[in-house]
Amino acid sequence: MNIEELAQKINTFDYYFEYSDDHEKFRSGSNEQVEINKELQKMDDFQIEELSKLITKDINLIERYFEKL
């Protein structure tokens, strides 16, 4: 996955999946969070910096769900 695709995933991530009563939405959100974090772990500091420039979501939400940002 390239930086632009990952930024798109982060920008469209359902940051409120934990509050859903729908088990499928919760499971899907959890899986997507794990997938994004795995991609972040593969990135070096320069790539993380470039990714950060493409993210449009509130930093507080991002830091809550994604370890390396």
The more confident residue out of 35 and 68 is: 35
Q: DSSP assignment of 26-58, as one string? A: HHHHHHHHHHHHHHHHT--HHHHHHHHHH--S-
Q: Where are the domains of the chain?
A: 3-65
The more confident residue out of 64 and 40 is: 40
pLDDT tens sequence across 10-61: 999 999 999 999 999 999 999 999 999 999 999 999 999 999 999 999 888 8
What is the rounded CA–CA span in Å between residue 11 and residue 44?
Answer: 20
